[in-house]
Amino acid sequence: MTVAVAESSKATKADEKTWVFLFNQLDKVESTAKTKDWEDIRSLLGGKGANLFEMTRLGLPVPPGFTVTTEACNAYLKYDHQFPPAMWDQEVVAMHAVEQQVGKNFGDPKNPLFVSCRSGAKFSMPGMMDTVLNIGLNDETAKGMIELTGDARFVYDSYRRLIQMFGSVVMGVADEPFEDVITEFKKRKGVKNDVELAADDWMQIVERFKGLVKAYKGIDFPQDPYKQLEMATRAVFNSWFGKRAIDYRNATNISHDLGTAVNIVTMVFGNMGEDSATGVAFTRNPVDGVNELYGDYLINAQGEDVVAGIRNTLPIAQLEKDMPEAFAEFMNIVNKLETHFRDMQDVEFTIERKKLWMLQTRNGKRTARAAIKIAVDMTNEGLIKKEEAVMRVTPEQVDQLLHPQFSAETKKKARKEGKLLVSKAVNASPGAAVGMAVFDADTADEWGKAGKAVIMVRPETKPDDVHGMIAAKGILTSRGGATSHAAVVARQFGTPAVCGAEEMEIDVDHRMFHIQVDDKEVEVREGDWISLDGGTGEVFLGQLPTQDPDFENEAELNILLKWADGVRRLGVWANADYPKDAERARRYGAQGIGLCRTEHMFFEEDRLPIVQEMIMATSRARRLTALERLLPVQRNDFEGIFRAMDGLPVIIRLLDPPLHEFLPSYQDLVADLADLKVRLQHFHTLSEIDTALGLVRQKEDILSRVKALSESNPMLGLRGDRLSVVMPEITEMQVRAILEAAIHVKKDGIDVHPEIMVPLAGHVNELKYIKEIVDRIAEEVFTESGMTVDFKYGSMVEVPRAALTADELATVAEFYSFGTNDLTQTTFGMSRDDAESKFLMEYTEKEILPSNPFQQLDRGGVGKLINMTVELGRGTRPDMHMGICGEHGGDPNSIEFCHMAKLNYVSCSPYRVPIARLAAAQAAVKHP
């Protein structure tokens, strides 16, 4: 033992802050932290540490150890990467306590103790931070272990693992040189797997590894066990702000200020022979949620072999045959853990010479489908309540479940065409992915950010690949099993993945892979399109078409959403411009249409020429003629939507965009005219010349009208309610179409509830002026038809003045709908298109803004205007109905705000209706 260690070996002083706790000191943790709240304990000890403490308290076979708290990590990072006062002393004292518990001594060649050093943040971040195994091994303890075990192969295999992991994780030596040495020895011996190398091979590899460390870093691999422990502890702390950890936290919205704990655990060895093993298992299937044990293991291996995907693994069910006694004990333990934690557990275990040890348990990462099924099943089993089930599934997981899929017909056709490349790999994460093959994470990240669809192809993924995995549409590996790094991370992000496709020969250097298909060899190069089905483990050549999932047949999802409907207060409506959109919205559970945009109907091919004729009209008479032709078309559109939404409200917004948007752009017209004039010179017949001149005159007329309609800032120009004031005949036609359609469907027995909404209003006199038009047209329609329909008249709130004078507007408007896209633009004084293309990304990266305000509602500014509108509007009209209809209506964070602001509903895309239903319920649970 070194002098420094001897000086540090003293009891913790009473007035010192406690940075380190033994696994059997959970009571002390609760006393020191002055809390028994499990979330607070997890914040202090990290998720991994907290669960090791809890398993120890439950009496499960956990190797003794201790945890250095997240507070120590944050102090270390805050104070220039220096251990906080007394932390190292406490770590050494804790090591001596572990020595007493196991009857071994750290660094003693005659009876050596070895430990692992593992990270463990509050929230699971699989593979994103650093781990080092077999700490304490050195030249002397290796010799002692050989004398104790009589197994030189096991000892040198463990020693080389330490040097490789320590060299890579702690000292910054690239992993590839180490792997190259192992590959060289396997080729020399003519073997395929690491386990086939003998003791003498590993002894030579150890010396080669030590040479690599010396060559790359200029210093020797440390032989002092306490120096190894100190450096490993620092490495784990430092890994909290490693690139992959930052990328992962950014992608999963985990705070950067939590820090990681360090868990020092007595080593147990799964690589001591054929009676030893290591594995990872889930108490339920994390892919589909079926209540069955799921996982992998390896005989004569260490845990990193399983999760890294270096060797293809054995299914966990086979362990019952290989080691029946250990398997029986394992099953009893995992059942106990699931019942105790009331959630599906992801466990790591090692069997050392037939003795089972539990190394970790945590709530398991799972696919969207599995999350929903497990939540529903556990509720039906009585483990959790319905409200808990609603909170167990994230809105993002509902979104993932509704992603496109390959139809059976599509895959059948692809097989007939010889496009099936892989048919029996591991279905690691479900879903359909179509993209261009790329062979490294940096390219995947670069291409993905450029808007390209990519599938990342690797022999196996490593934690450093996470930025590419986040950018990829799918992941394909030739090695690894269902619990490999690639599989776990893919399931976390809902990314389709196929792993362990052994028939693929991947050449990363030349950016290609080969595979034998029937009697021919197929070569796929970077940039070639491939399609993979993560639910079946199949890979196809080329781009396969996808289709939307069958929502009605998602039994567990519909059960969960019905539970959510019983909890939420907010209504969920949909934005729909066509009958087919309304039908889909209703199937997905929408309770009304919150926004029907009439301008989208105008862009249809059969009516755009009529719209352009109306815009080109130089007199009111000509404009009315065009509008008369548009009237039956608009009326038919509204009838279809009313029929689809029988019994539910439909809010129809009057024409909003500036008229020039329906005409060709100025630049296109100038280019077309120039082209026509050049072609005119080559015409010879009078007929050709007359036709060309007619086109020229037509283009010139349109160009003249485009110039007349052009504005310096169209977003704040002649649009919305201003069009109704300047060209009231457009509003007259639209109101007539709405009410005539309502009368028509009412005659057919449809229960119709139309609501007419004015866009962009900022002054009460605008609403009054347009209300007179609406009332006049309504009286005409009702008189002509001999029938009436009840309808509402309301306003969008899209400009700050509407919010500031909401009490005045409410004297006319019967309802408000917040157009949060434009309200965000006018509140910030920024154009969305320009902001997102020019500076918003930099604003969020530099944390000037916490998030993109067009994606997540700005509570501090836009939110204040909404709250003001609610208070003022209901001060005038207490029962006033209010909702939002911008893109924020489908964003869970924004939906939570809407619940807190006491809005009546949110309206979103039909595809996001299920997401909004769940998010609204979660907001109600969090803010009753």
Q: What is the CA radius of gyration of the chain?
A: 33
Q: In whole angstroms, give the CA distance from residue 258 to residue 47.
A: 12
Return phi, psi of residue 439, to 5°: -120, 10
> ∠ CA 634-635-637 to the nearest 5 degrees?
65
Cα 448 off chain centre by? 15
Clarify whether 885 is annotated catalytic. yes
CA 411 from centroid of its chain's CA atoms: 27
Question: Smallest Cα–Cα separation from 780: which of 788, 792, 770, 790?
Answer: 788
Strand partners, 817: 796, 883
Give the angle 52-57-62 at the CA atoms, nearest 5°: 45
Rounded Cα–Cα distance for residues 119 and 81 (Å): 17
Distances (CA, A) of 224 to 11, 428, 752: 22, 42, 82
Angle at the Cα of 492 from the Cα atoms of 247 and 457, rounded to 5 degrees: 75
Task: Point out the catalytic residue in the list 73, 117, 596, 885.
Answer: 885
- Among 900, 298, 885, 920, CA closest to 563: 920
Q: Which of 467, 485, 744, 899 is catalytic?
A: 485
DSSP assigned state of 270: S
DSSP 426: E
Phi and psi, residue 795, nearest 5° = -135, 145
Question: Is the dihedral angle over the CA atoms 840, 846, 849, 855 positive or is it negative?
Answer: positive
Distance in angstroms (rounded) separating the CA atoms of residues 111 and 203? 21
- Consecutive H or E run containing 8: helix 3-8
Rounded CA separation 236/592 (Å): 52
Active site residue 898: no
The residues near 389 (Cβ < 8 Å, ≥ 6 apart) are 375, 376, 378, 379, 560, 563
Q: Does residue 419 come out as left (phi exceeding 0), alpha (psi in the -120 to 50 range) or beta?
A: alpha
Cite the active site residues: 485, 885
